[in-house]
Amino acid sequence: DVDQELQQDGRYERCLTACLRRAQELDDDLIDFKNLLLERVTLKVLGAKNGKLRRLARICYVDEDGLVRRHPSPERLRKVEEDVNGVIYLGNNSYTSALIKVLAVIYHYKHLHLGARRVCNLLQRRLYCKKMTRLVQSTLKTCTSCIKARATRQFNYVTNHVQDLLTTGLWQVVGVDVTGPYGKAPRATPGQGESHYVLLVQDYVSGFTAARPLYDSKSKSIADGLHGIFCEHGSPSVVLSDHDTTSLITRNVRRVLQRHGTKHYVLPGYGQYLSFWERSHKDMVDVVKAVRESRHTTERSNVDDTFINDYLLSVRAYNTTPRGWANASPAELHYVYKGRLPGDQEGLSELVDWESLRLKHTDVDIIKTLREAIPMADTVKQRTSSTLNDYLDYWRLKQERLLER
C-alpha cells in the first residue's frame, strides 16, 4: 500500500504547480491567452486567433498561482476527484508531453497499477492537453508487472477455457446445410440412383464437417441423413440452420431432432450470411473446381468422377487440414471428444450460450407453438370481443356502486 503521507505531501503539490506553470509559459498561445485574461493586451493585437480566444475567455480565468484554468463545474455536475478550482490548460510542446508521462506513472503506481484508460480519466479531471490518451497508453504499456499479469490471464484462458472448449464443447453446436444440385440435368427424372445433393453438418468449435450424399432435397431424405450422422458422431445440443421451410423446418426433421434431444434454432430470413458454415462450404466448392480443372481430359471422361465424389473429397481435405488457432486438424479435434447421447441433459457443456441463441436465432418449437395457437387465438378473440359502449356501461355501473358505498 502507498503511504498516505506521500499522497498528501505538500512538496509534491508545490513541484507540480511549478511544472504546470512552466508548461504554460513554453506555449505561445497560452501566453497570449493569459495576457488577454489579465487585460495586458487587446483582441486587436492577437490577430486571426482573437475569435477563438474571445470565446475561451468567457469560461477561463487566471488563478492566484498564475495558472490558466477553466471555471469549475457546478457542484451537482462535478465528478469525483475533480479539481474544485477548475481544469488546468497545458500547452502543446515537448515539456508538456514529458510532464504527462511522469504524472501517468505517478497515478499508475499511486492507484496500484491502474489501467491506462482510468489513469487518463483521472488526469483529465485536473489537466487538459492534446493527445493525452496516446501519451498515457504509450507510457504505461511498458509496465513489467502489468505485462506479467496480462500474460498470466492469457495463460489461464488457454489452460482453462480452451481446454474445456476442446473437451466438452465439441459437437455441441452444429450447423446444417444442404448444397446442390450438382451434375443434374434440367429435365432429369428423379430416382435414377445418382446423388445430386450433399447434406453437411459442421461443428461450430472444431470445424469438423460430416457429409452425406442425397438423391434429393426432400425433408424425409434430410431427416434420414441427420439421423445417420447423429448416430455415428453423437447427438449435438443445438442445431443451427437457415430459414428453409421446405426441407429443414419440417415435421420429419423435427421428429429426428426430438428423438436425439437436440434443440433447433434458425437464422433470420434475411441473414444467411450470418452463418458460420457458409465460408467453409464456399471453400469446398472452390477446391472441387480446382480438382476437376487439374485433371487430364481422359480422366474427366471417367464416369465415377462425379461432382459429388469430388465434393466428398474436398470435405475430407478440409477435415484433415490443420487449423491455425489450434495447430490441429478438425478431424484430430473431433475424434477425441466424448459424444453426447440422446438421454443426456440439454447443454452438456456450459459453453453453450443459450441466452445468445435465443436473442440471435429463432427456436423452431416456438414457431410450431405459434402456428398451432393461431386458430385458438381467433376463437378467444371472438369470445372476448366487446365494444366501447359495453365498456362505458360497465364503468358507469361501477361508479354508481362506488357512489352508493
Return the HEC string of 59-73: CEEECCCCCEEECCC
DSSP conformation class of 78: P
The pLDDT value given to residue 157: 47
pLDDT band at 253 (very low <50, low <70, confident <90, very high): very high
Judge if the upstream peptide bond of residue 181 is cis by omega within 30 degrees of 0.
yes
Find the helix packing angle between 219-233 and 251-259, rounded to 10°.
Answer: 20
Task: Provide the 3-class DSSP secondary structure of residue 168.
Answer: helix
d(CA 348, CA 130): 53
- The lowest-confidence range among 18-32, 246-260, 261-275, 309-323 is 261-275
Give 198's strand partners.
179, 213
In the structure grid, which three cell numbers stand for residue 106, read together? 505517478
257 closest CA partner among 348, 370, 176, 354:
176
CA dihedral 157, 163, 164, 167 (to 10 degrees): 170
3-class SS at 224? helix
Compute the distance between CA of residue 393 and CA of residue 109 in angstroms, rounded to an integer.
74
**Residue 42 pLDDT more than 80?**
yes
Band (pLDDT 50/70/90 cuts) for residue 225 is very high
For 322-363, how does the pLDDT look when each residue is reduced to its tens digit (9 = 90+)? 876 667 888 888 887 766 676 665 544 455 777 777 777 777
pLDDT at 257: 92
Give the whole-angstrom CA distance, residue 307 versus residue 291. 10
pLDDT in tens, 107-158: 998 888 888 999 999 998 889 988 899 999 999 988 888 887 776 665 554 4
pLDDT band at 380 (very low <50, low <70, confident <90, very high): low
Return the C-alpha cell found at 38: 489579465
Domain ranges of the chain: 4-27+59-142, 168-360, 369-404
Calpha distance 248→327 (Å, rounded): 34
pLDDT at 187 over 60: no
- The answer, yes or no, to whether residue 193 has pLDDT greater than 90, is no
Provide the grid cell at 96.
508538456
Question: 60-74, 105-119, 190-204, 315-329: which has the minimum mean pLDDT?
Answer: 190-204
Alpha-carbon distance of 293 to 41, in angstroms, equals 82
- Identify the band that residue 2 occupies on the pLDDT scale cut at 50, 70 and 90: very low
How many residues comprise the chain?
A: 405
pLDDT tens, residue by residue, 265-285: 888 766 556 678 888 888 888
Name the residue with higher pLDDT: 192 or 48.
Answer: 48
Query: Is 341 in contact with 322 (CB distance < 8 Å)?
Result: no
CATH number of 168-360: 3.30.420.10
Supply φ then ψ for residue 355, to 5 degrees: -65, -45
Segment 38-60 mean pLDDT: 83
Q: Is the Cβ–Cβ distance between 119 and 103 less than 8 Å?
A: no
